[in-house]
Amino acid sequence: MSAFALPDSFVVAPLSTSEFDPATAATAHEVIAAGPESVYHRLIGDQESEAVFLLARHVLNGFLGAAGETDTPADGEQEADRLAEQTAEVRRQITGMLRPLSEAESRVRDAVLAQRAPLALIGGCWLDTVSQPATQPATVVNHLVRHQFVWRGEGNPRRGLHQLRGRALEERGVFLPEVTAPDFLRQAEARPLTAWHGAYRLALARLPATFLPEVVGTHYVMAALGVDELLLGTRPMLTEADLRATLADYLALAPPPVSRRVCAAVTRTLAMERDHVRLLADVAAWHAGLSLDAQVERIVARHAPFAGKQHRDVRVGGKPLTERFHAPDVDLAGFLADFRASPQMKPRDGGCRFLRAIKFGGPMFGIFDEGEAATFQRWAEAIAAGDPPGPGLTPNSAGDDAAYALGEAIAAPPPGVRFCTAARGDDRAFLHRLVNIENFPGTLTLARAHAEDGLARAEILFDHGGDGVLTDASWFDYSPEALNERVDRIYWDKLVNPYQPLTEIPDRDEVIFHQTTFALGSMIDGAWAHRIGATGRYTRRSDGMLYSIYADEMGRGDLTKNHITLIYRVLASLGIEVPHLRDTAFLDQDELPDHLYGFSLFQLSLALFPDSLYDEILGYNLGIEMFGLGTMRMHEMQKLRHHGFDVAYEEAHLAIDNLSAGHARQSAEIIIAYLHDVARLSGADAVPSHWRRIWRGYASFAYFIEHDLVAGLARREPVDLVI
């Protein structure tokens, strides 16, 4: 049995295949058949279903499956330098290609920025879940966590990369919905190739452990190339030197097959960005070439579907608008010719009837935005001047050939996929599947059932939780004051005041055994929050606050402060050597007790549903962060020190979880901030239902900690309690 040792040289998931329920194939094919926009929306809007994992496999195979074989890379630093030079050359090319786009008239420039927005506003998404139980505490993953922490505004969503880019777009007059909005791609007028490129980035976000070489290569290119910074005129948040050092460190660790994948990903991503800049140039050329009549035709096309019954008395060319715009194939060119010659556009003193109708006080005021109204004004002036009609609207086909080829490749069955019905197996097998969820997406259904069952069981503590030794999950009605009072009371009455130094220290073997009962839970430290703050979901104050706690647990990318590193240090001092949780060899380890897997299985299951179980995760977070304080930690440190064992893990939690300003206090503040948003957006009446879910999340933590209480309830209550 191979034991895990620090530093963690993990470079890619040890498993290469993924298992899916047979029914998932039909769902994935349905989404792909609906087109790239459908795939983009599903990948960004859904991070909890089995189907998105299969979609990601399809997309990545479509982009990477035809990647050519590269030469065996040189050593890490030399190869990183070569890739950096290759990237710098492409940056020089792209800079020249983008310059005329930034100098174009505002109408054209805005169209270019909007076209790039579906990529700019998801920048960095490939790092969303790169830090997870299967990958921590790998050296390269912690480099990436450090970069992610910067891109996420160090826990402040308003200072994060997506928000900064969004504000830069708005400062330039480009206003779009949120990236998860159903009409986002339509409002951006995203070409199919743009949607496919976005889908590639989002697919990496779903499978970062399995495709870590591609994540590293893509991350370097996207950040070092800086297309979006060049377009928006913003400053890069990461330095090229830091990015190159991360790339070099990874290549130094990677065996040749993995290094080749990194190099292929760099080459592929550079080609993608070149292709997209060409697409932007084609989009700009199309918009620049639109005649005034074609611009008006575009406006009419956007609004024609909304011409309702109020237009039944309006005729153009002798036909009612309701009839012209509700035909199976609307003849926009014919309508425009008739409209040009209609009485509505006939020049009169002070303009024409149509322009008066769309101004303030007119019957059509508010239908057209400021830019559209200005276009109609210019068109009316051209008609009045006797200018002949310009060329009609021609289809925008920018990037369509490449998009079609990608669609064909993405629809093909990806390799490494197996279809079978998931089986839970014993606790060890279930843990293995949950840790390596990218390889066992079929387990998601089992994980949800396990999480929901644990949460339901925990509600018994609403009535009996006050008898807990270290927790109090008894029910109370929410108010910020009541929550803070409960937190303070738990801290003083259950965690601090009962503390007395041990007068008798257990022997060495007993101390070691007691540590093994906690070790498994410590080896997934932070896992409950590792999916919080994903792209499109990092907007609330509570998102940033909870993400910050997770980043702290991971040392903010500093391996010496990473809590997973610390627990392995402690285990080594105890003489305990086990394989990493991700490895199949862990299934056969005999150092950690079998009967205490429940805590970790529940936490890993809960963590996989950061959207639908968000409230419960907030409550669970409060429980686990308070657990780092007081009597239990102090006693463990006393026992470990007595026998000369490492106390780094215990010390870190006693300090960082402090009630004054640390994670324990922050966890209460997160709940208060979140429920404030609930009340503000949905009304005070919505708060109680959210609060109940939050508190059952807290109770679900207490359920696993209060062994004696739960065991006693099992004997008294006519319910099936399992810990």
Give which of 251, 239, 116 is closest to 174, Cα–Cα: 116
CATH number belonging to domain 427-716: 1.20.910
Query: Where would I find the beta strands (DSSP E) of 475-562?
Result: none
Angle at 194 (CA atoms; ends 369, 290), nearest 5 degrees = 45
Grouping H, G, I as helix, E, B as strand and the rest as coil, residue 184 is helix
Please tell me what DSSP assigns to residue 316. E
Q: Check: CB of residue 60 under 8 Å from CB of residue 200.
A: yes
How far apart, in whole angstroms, are the C-alpha atoms of residue 209 and residue 204? 9
Distances (CA, A) of 482 to 485, 592, 690: 5, 39, 16
How far apart, in whole angstroms, are the C-alpha atoms of residue 161 and residue 148? 10
Give me 430's structure tokens: 């279930």
Tokens 């237009």, located at residue: 311
* Domain segments of the chain as ranges: 20-290+400-419, 294-384, 427-716
Taking only the tens place, the pLDDT of each residue in 447-486 is 999 999 999 999 999 999 999 999 999 999 999 999 999 9
pLDDT for the residue numbered 319: 85
| DSSP-H helix ranges across 207-308 | 212-225, 227-232, 240-253, 256-288, 292-303
Taking only the tens place, the pLDDT of each residue in 115-130 is 999 999 999 999 999 9
Grouping H, G, I as helix, E, B as strand and the rest as coil, residue 109 is helix
Strands 315-316 and 319-320: antiparallel
Q: Flag residues of the chain having pLDDT under 50.
A: 719, 722-723
pLDDT for the residue numbered 723: 47
Query: Where would I find the beta strands (DSSP E) of 36-114?
Result: none
**What sign does the dihedral 460-461-467-468 (CA atoms) show?**
positive
Angle at 529 (CA atoms; ends 532, 431), nearest 5 degrees = 120
What's the N-to-C CA distance of the chain in angstroms?
29
> What is the amino acid identity at position 390?
G
Cα 113 off chain centre by: 23
pLDDT for the residue numbered 312: 67
Cα 677 off chain centre by: 21
Residue 328 phi/psi, 5-degree rounding, is -55, -40
Report the 10 Å Cβ neighbour count for 639: 22
HEC profile for 385-396? CCCCCCCCCCCC
pTM of the model: 0.95
